[in-house]
């Protein structure tokens, strides 16, 4: 492929037909060869696609730079997080002007004390195109910090240990971990999870003794079921080391006294099919959030710490049909419960002495609130976060005794142009084809007319029970200020309206997710928020699957599509148990080795359902080192679309050759890809400034 051809015409991937057969059914995959990451021909093809994207978008380069600088200008560059207290020290993270990475610091006893720099990630990242500090775990005596780093973007972290007294990084080095480390109470024993070299499934927990080689580490748990992942942490009470195992629909925990790291872990409650639970320790009891006894929306129980089996669990907050129990936070004198009712977050405060039980009040229909970082067990202060589609994020400290709130920090939007009073947000309800009401959160600049001419970007995710709450974004302002409406469709597959909302958007009901999104699009058009000529859709990862499905089903509804790291080759991926995530996700998508699931999956898999017809304008992005959705899925998808589509609309593929699922690691570098995506949308609308 010559340079001249690359720049004048779209790349054309060669066809090498491969037969994929199962259940007496054969699929022909002409682009299977693209899954060879080390093959230079594959790299050349991806580079050719990048060159073509650059050429097509060349006339927007100045605009992209304008958007980038605009987004960057809203960010407070010399920013600092609100400090939190843990074990006698105040910890905070700060950013410095024109630097991409955070600096982690602490002060002793008071916030005003002399600052101690723990890690300057700008220095640590200097020799790497990608850098991520995964986690920091401070030893109980405050003298050591275990830290983890990833320089490839495959989420395979290396553990090292820093002596905070001398500043020396010790010789201990442990490779291929999940990025999380847990100290026992003896200040010398560490627990961590490692990943399978091929599938990247976290499958083993090891114990490391300070000063010894990693080869001497002792395996304390092996998760042999390849549908489960394992992890380890310490209870907030600091009394227990906890090993967890989780699949999509089942969990199991093991506990060990943090004072006895050489002891034997005891099973808390053995795994059962469809039993999900999580545990927190307080004052001689474990508190358990679970879906036991048919508690679809979860309930809270407790049990004596020495009798942990399910037969001993006693309800504290029973199951409710209309309220989803999402999270709890335990303090010495209070229990805080994060609930969701009718799609809205609620914070419930319960005193252990039984005298108080009330909700923190919020007065909006498009807000988001959640429990923040509260590591201090003895505190009387609840830290939570609040924001909305029009209101920047605030970190709020709520005094549980006096019931007084203090805004510790409101996100600053720099540039001098932002005024939250210039924007409106609302929640509307579309009716899906089966009669179910689907909520949509909207934000837009005040004064728009509902005449069908507004450009609108519709976003959703719709998988894994992950709820997309209506939250604030400084980046999004670049669209809103240019006339775009932004819509979040709270479709089935998430948990916005409770656990049933998730259950009715997965496995053999997965198509509800796609139908909901399409029916929301039709409603937005019907209500004249936008029209087919001005409607755009965006989704990433499993939301990229959503994009692939909707354009196969109703391509005529959309003028443009943004698909980020899209999971589009569903059948082939779910049949390959060597790919990261596959086996652990059978409960989400189904196991296609079962013919019923295979047939259903094949009926919606975007890659398998491309037809010779017109498709919208599309920009597809991915990362060469993506560990969640392998780069070849979007690459194959684009290649097949190029071959079959009958339109002359744009089809662009951009591969970040240095990063993975989350994109670039620097806080500003990642904005460049967003600026390119926004320029793509705005250019389709004829907006160039």
Instruction: Quote the CA–CA distance of 299 and 296 in Å, as a whole number.
Output: 8
Pick the catalytic residue from 471, 541, 605, 627.
541
Residue in the block written with tokens 């923190």: 360
Residue in the block written with tokens 């108080």: 356
- Identify the burial level of 674 via C-beta atoms within 10 angstroms of its C-beta, where 0-12 means exposed, 13-18 middle and 19 or more buried: buried
Pick the catalytic residue from 608, 626, 656, 683.
626
Whether 153 and 660 have beta carbons less than 8 Å apart is answered as yes
Neighbours of 535 (CB within 10 A): 25
Whether 395 and 484 have beta carbons less than 8 Å apart is answered as no
Pick the catalytic residue from 203, 471, 661, 683.
661
Query: Is 605 a catalytic site residue?
Result: no
Instruction: Quote the CA–CA distance of 323 and 274 in Å, as a whole number.
Output: 20
Beta bridge partners of 18: 29
The distance from CA 98 to its chain's CA centroid, rounded to whole angstroms, is 26
Strands 651-656 and 299-304: unpaired
SS3 string, 106-170, reads EEECCCCCCCEEEEEHHHHCCCCCCCEEEEEEECCCCCEEEEEEECCCCCCEEEEEEECCCCCEE
Whether 607 and 568 have beta carbons less than 8 Å apart is answered as yes
Instruction: Quote the CA–CA distance of 118 and 142 in Å, as a whole number.
Output: 11
Which residues fall within 8 angstroms of residue 453, CB to CB, at 6 or more apart? 530, 531, 534
Instruction: Quote the CA–CA distance of 343 and 145 in Å, as a whole number.
Output: 40
Instruction: Quote the CA–CA distance of 74 and 418 in Å, as a whole number.
Output: 9
Whether 639 and 604 have beta carbons less than 8 Å apart is answered as no
Sign of the Cα torsion 655, 652, 443, 515 reads: negative
Whether 667 and 95 have beta carbons less than 8 Å apart is answered as yes
Burial annotation 427-450 (CB, 10 A radius, 16+ → b, else e)? bbebebeeebebbbbbbbbeeeee
Strands 103-108 and 617-623: unpaired
- Identify the burial level of 284 via C-beta atoms within 10 angstroms of its C-beta, where 0-12 means exposed, 13-18 middle and 19 or more buried: exposed
Query: Is 59 a catalytic site residue?
Result: no
Query: Is 434 a catalytic site residue?
Result: no
Beta bridge partners of 107: 90
- Torsions phi, psi of 472, nearest 5? -80, 150
C-beta contacts of 138-145 below 8 A and 24+ residues apart = 138/86, 138/87, 138/89, 138/164, 138/183, 139/183, 139/187, 140/87, 140/183, 140/185, 140/187, 140/238, 141/187, 142/87, 142/88, 142/89, 143/187, 144/187, 144/210, 145/118, 145/119
Active-site residue numbers?
541, 626, 661
């Amino acid at each position: 492929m010559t340079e001249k051809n690359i720049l004048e015409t779209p790349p054309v991937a060669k066809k090498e037909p491969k037969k994929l057969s199962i259940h007496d059914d054969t699929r022909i995959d002409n682009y299977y060869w693209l899954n060879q990451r080390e093959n230079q021909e594959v790299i050349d093809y991806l580079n050719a696609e990048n060159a073509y994207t650059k050429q097509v978008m060349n006339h927007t380069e100045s605009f992209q730079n304008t958007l980038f600088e605009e987004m960057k200008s809203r960010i407070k560059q010399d920013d600092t997080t609100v400090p939190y207290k843990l074990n006698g020290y105040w910890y905070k993270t700060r950013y410095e002007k024109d630097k991409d990475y955070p600096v982690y610091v602490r002060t002793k006893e008071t916030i005003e004390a002399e600052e101690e720099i723990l890690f300057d990630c700008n220095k640590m990242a200097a020799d790497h195109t990608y850098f991520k500090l995964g986690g920091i775990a401070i030893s109980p005596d405050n003298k050591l910090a275990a830290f983890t780093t990833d320089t490839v973007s495959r989420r395979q972290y290396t553990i090292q240990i820093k002596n905070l007294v001398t500043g020396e990084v010790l010789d201990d080095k442990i490779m291929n971990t999940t990025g999380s480390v847990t100290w026992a109470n003896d200040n010398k024993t560490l627990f961590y999870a490692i990943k399978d070299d091929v599938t990247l499934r976290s499958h083993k927990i090891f114990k490391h003794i300070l000063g010894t080689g990693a080869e001497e580490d002792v395996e304390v748990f092996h998760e042999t079921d390849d549908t489960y992942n394992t992890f380890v942490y310490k209870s907030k009470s600091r009394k227990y080391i906890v090993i967890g195992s989780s699949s999509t629909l089942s969990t199991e925990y093991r506990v060990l006294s943090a004072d006895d790291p050489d002891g034997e872990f005891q099973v808390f409650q053995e795994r059962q099919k469809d039993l999900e639970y999580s545990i927190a320790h307080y004052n001689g009891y474990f508190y358990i959030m679970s879906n036991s006894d048919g508690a679809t929306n979860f309930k809270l129980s407790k049990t004596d710490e020495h009798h942990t089996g399910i037969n001993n669990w006693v309800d504290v907050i029973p199951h409710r049909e209309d309220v989803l129990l999402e999270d709890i936070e335990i303090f010495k004198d209070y229990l805080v419960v994060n609930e969701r009712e009718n799609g809205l977050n609620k914070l419930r405060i319960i005193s252990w002495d039984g005298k108080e039980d009330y909700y923190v009040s919020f007065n909006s229909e498009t807000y988001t609130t959640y429990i923040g970082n509260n590591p201090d067990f003895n505190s009387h202060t609840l830290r939570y976060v609040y924001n909305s589609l029009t209101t920047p994020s605030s970190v709020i400290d709520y005094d549980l005794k006096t019931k007084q709130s203090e805004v510790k920090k409101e996100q600053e939007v720099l540039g001098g142009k932002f005024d939250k009073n210039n924007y409106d947000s609302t929640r509307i309800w579309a009716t899906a084809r089966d009669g179910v009401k689907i909520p949509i959160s909207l934000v837009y600049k005040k004064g728009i007319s509902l005449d069908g001419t507004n450009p609108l970007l519709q976003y959703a995710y719709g998988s894994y029970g992950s709820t997309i709450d209506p939250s604030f974004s400084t980046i999004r302002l670049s669209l809103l200020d240019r006339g775009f409406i932004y819509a979040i469709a709270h479709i089935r597959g998430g948990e916005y309206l409770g656990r049933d909302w998730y259950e009715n958007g997965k496995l053999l009901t997965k198509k509800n997710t796609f139908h909901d999104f399409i029916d929301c699009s039709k409603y937005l058009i019907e209500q004249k928020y936008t029209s087919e000529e001005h409607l755009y859709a965006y989704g990433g990862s499993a939301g990229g699957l959503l994009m692939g499905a909707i354009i196969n089903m109703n391509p005529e509804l959309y003028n443009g599509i943004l698909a980020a790291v899209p999971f589009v080759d569903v059948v082939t991926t779910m049949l390959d148990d060597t790919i990261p995530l596959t086996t652990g996700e059978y409960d989400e998508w189904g196991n296609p080795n079962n013919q019923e699931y295979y047939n259903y999956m094949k009926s919606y898999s975007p890659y398998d359902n491309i037809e010779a017809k017109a498709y919208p304008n599309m920009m597809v992005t991915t990362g060469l080192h993506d560990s969640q959705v392998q780069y070849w899925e979007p690459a194959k998808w684009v290649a097949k679309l190029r071959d079959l589509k009958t339109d002359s609309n744009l089809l662009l593929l951009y591969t970040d050759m240095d990063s993975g699922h989350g994109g670039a690691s620097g806080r500003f570098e990642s904005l460049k890809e967003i600026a390119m995506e926004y320029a793509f949308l705005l250019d389709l609308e004829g907006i160039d400034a």
